[in-house]
A and B are shown apart, each in its own frame.
Chain A
Amino acid sequence: MRTAALKPVIPGFGLTMGFSVLYLSLLLIIPVAGLILFTLQMSWEDFWRAVSHPQVVASYKLSFLASFIGASINAVFGTLVAWVLVRYRFPGKRIIDGLVDLPFALPTAVAGIALVTLYAGTGWVGQYFEPFGIRIAYSQIGVVIALTYIGLPFVVRTVQPVLADFEKELEEASAALGANRLTTIRRVIFPAILPALLTGYALAFARAVGEYGSVIFISGNLPYRTEITPLLIVAKAEQYDYHGAAAIGVVMLGAAFILLLLINGLQWWASRRG
């Protein structure tokens, strides 16, 4: 039976849906499918050789481990920044709030050069670590720093609105029931922001795995030590080894997909209890 009530408020479902599908296809599905199809032209042996070369495996380890560390650092300190921005009033708050978005806005190559200037053995920060034999630039620490820098806004921007919406009464209720501050944070505030935190974590991690521009300057790109996977893809492509590059790309794609699935599962588990 047709009734007026069944008609949606905004007309044109067919048109908008069609456009959305086309748009997403052009932007996401076709390139990914193309990448996979392109790889399928390779024989299994060639594929395996390309993706399991020790130099490539070393780069997977670095890329995923450094992204993991970077996202974890951001989970802790990004939450802290979000907390300070939501809970306190201080001069220059708006400026700091705006600065958080800098990694979004600044071209990554510029960021990379800035980081290398800071952390090189002669740089402003690097010179204080050099005497202790700690090299930041051109080492794996440098990679972690670049990936931490690039992921910060994701955690802050996902946690901040949740903290802002968090009812102060819940903290007061917890305190009135005899809980100390630490218990209140652990049992009341943290569970409330956990789903958002996991989202931010996943986004920061995904961004870090794919990051190229800001890392290649500070890492020094030493084979087996500070080469990230995206760099190897570019290197292969520059040598006209498009199949090799695509093969590594597919591995990255698969890994990123599995990780996102995992984190989404965690998120679902965390929010299901709300």
Chain B
Amino acid sequence: MSIHIEGVNKRFGDFVAVDNVNLDIKTGELTALLGPSGSGKTTLLRIIAGLEHPDSGVIRFNSEDITGQHVSERGVGFVFQHYALFKHMTVFENVAYGLTVKPKKLRPSKAEIAKKVNKLLELVQLDWTADRYPSQLSGGQRQRIALARALAVEPKVLLLDEPFGALDAKVRAELRRWLRRLHDEIHVTSVFVTHDQEEALEVADRIVVMNKGRIEQDGTPEQVYDNPANPFVYEFLGNVNLFHARVKASGETKFTSASDDTAQQADEQDGLAYVRAHEIEVLTSAEPDALPVTLDLITMVGPTARLEVLNQQDGKLVHIELPKEQFKALNLKSGDAAWIKPKYSQVFLGEGI
């Protein structure tokens, strides 16, 4: 089932949550809606589900216009950040809920329901919890039950709202790999909302980056990471440093500082260069085009050395990440002078972008 979002708008009072969004989601794809809080990603997901109604615009499943359909008729599976399991029901009853509330004519027999629920519990590897209550399960287990419950009604579309947001880091990492594998098995068209770029990059087939109710970029994880469409996407996808730059017509880029007042050449244009923290080379001696810096703070995080250095020209802070071994070899300590050189950067032209 493909999803088509056409010119959707949604306001809450004066706040524009979703601003004229157009998006097509292909059948069987696992798509991430990625953005900071308030970017409209959850609202867009809820509009797809039918939990919110757009002020204008159309939602289609395949070619069918379902904008006016109630959530209970859309056949979507929805997974909430805080699980939303029914506390007074056992795990079995929770998963069976969607089947037991069907109208009598369509409702499977008790034996069929039991068979299906047990199969789903096996799929989420929690068949041994059938008779427990949600309060007796851990967060990760609850979210898997919530997923099994959503899958029980054989949804045409699976929608997940920050599904791992309430879990701790280790469980979150495990669950997202598990979700990826599960999706490879069942291939239901899925959309999940996240503010965690790593999660989106790891799990999704496709990433839709949102900001202020609009779509900033839409592409595969690789496209979005390697070729960010604009400074917002660049900054959102990872730790990034900003440098002033002058770009020649030939494409040659020279890094400068904000206080650089040497005359601008005729064929040069001012711009901002975005350099990721791990795409900076640290040198112990001056080289052409290298910027002089002073080492300020050194933190070892597992195998990585994280450096905070001060640009000697304008005193701006630059974040650098490099492998611990490589840093050790440089034999630098806090307070030392060094030179840095961006290995790879993306320059957006125009001052003050």
Contact = CB atoms under 8 A, between A and B. Distances in A.
Genuine A/B complex = yes
Interface of A: 167, 169-170, 172-180, 183, 187-188, 191-192, 273-274
Nearest to B74: A176
B206 interface: no
B87 A176 contact: no
Contact of B150 (A175, A176, A180, A183): A176
Contact of A169 (B77, B80, B98, B101): B80
Given A176-B77, A177-B101, A274-B133, A192 B88 contact: yes
Nearest to A169: B84
Contact of A167 (B51, B78, B84): B84
Contacts of A180: 72, 101
Contact of B97 (A169, A177, A191): A177
Contacts of B71: 172, 175-176
Given A167-B84, A177-B149, A274 B97 contact: no
A176 B72 contact: yes
Contacts of B82: 167, 169
20 contacts: A169-B82, A170-B84, A172-B78, A172-B80, A173-B84, A173-B86, A175-B72, A176-B51, A177-B150, A177-B153, A178-B73, A178-B75, A178-B98, A179-B101, A180-B101, A187-B97, A187-B101, A188-B86, A191-B88, A274-B88
B49 interface: yes
Given A177-B149, A274-B135, A172 B101 contact: no
Nearest to B102: A178
B197 to A, nearest CB: 25
Contacts of A188: 86
Contacts of B73: 178
Contacts of B135: 274
A176 B49 contact: yes
A191 B89 CA distance: 9
Interface string B31-62: 00000000000000000011100000000000
A274 B84 contact: no
A175 B150 CA distance: 11
A179 B98 CA distance: 7
B199 to A, nearest CB: 21
Contacts of B88: 191-192, 273-274
Interface in B150-164: 150, 152-153
A217 B71 CA distance: 54
Interface of B: 49-51, 70-73, 75-78, 80, 82, 84-88, 97-98, 101-102, 133, 135, 146, 149-150, 152-153
Nearest to B159: A176
A179 B72 contact: yes
B176 to A, nearest CB: 21
Give the interface centre of A169, A174, A176 by most chain B CB atoms within 10 Å.
A176
Contacts of A187: 86, 97, 101
A271 to B, nearest CB: 9
Contacts of A176: 49-51, 71-72, 76-78, 150
Contacts of A192: 87-88
Nearest to A181: B72
A169 B72 CA distance: 14
Nearest to A190: B88
The 6 A-B pairs of least Cβ separation, nearest first, read A177-B98, A169-B84, A179-B101, A176-B78, A173-B84, A191-B88
A172 B97 CA distance: 13
A178 B72 contact: yes
B317 to A, nearest CB: 41
Contacts of A179: 72, 97-98, 101
A205 B152 CA distance: 43
Given A170-B84, A175-B70, 13 more contacts: A173-B80, A173-B146, A173-B149, A176-B72, A177-B101, A178-B73, A178-B153, A179-B72, A183-B101, A187-B101, A191-B86, A191-B88, A192-B87
Contacts of B152: 177
A63 to B, nearest CB: 34
Nearest to A186: B101
A251 B312 CA distance: 91
Contact of B51 (A172, A183, A191): A172
B87 A274 contact: yes
Contacts of A169: 80, 82, 84
Among A175, A178, A183: residue with most chain B CB under 10 A: A178
B134 to A, nearest CB: 9
Contacts of A175: 51, 70-72
Contacts of A274: 87-88, 133, 135
B98 A172 contact: no
Contacts of B102: 178
A186 to B, nearest CB: 10
Contacts of A167: 82, 84
A113 B303 CA distance: 82
Contacts of B80: 169, 172-173
A169 to B, nearest CB: 4
Contacts of B97: 174, 177, 179, 187
A234 to B, nearest CB: 44
B35 to A, nearest CB: 21
A180 B71 CA distance: 10
A170 B97 CA distance: 12
- The residue among B80, B101, B102, B133 with the most chain A CB atoms within 10 A of its own CB is B101
The CB with the most chain A CB atoms within 10 A, among B51, B73, B76, B146, is that of B51
Contacts of A183: 101
A180 B102 CA distance: 9
A180 B98 CA distance: 11
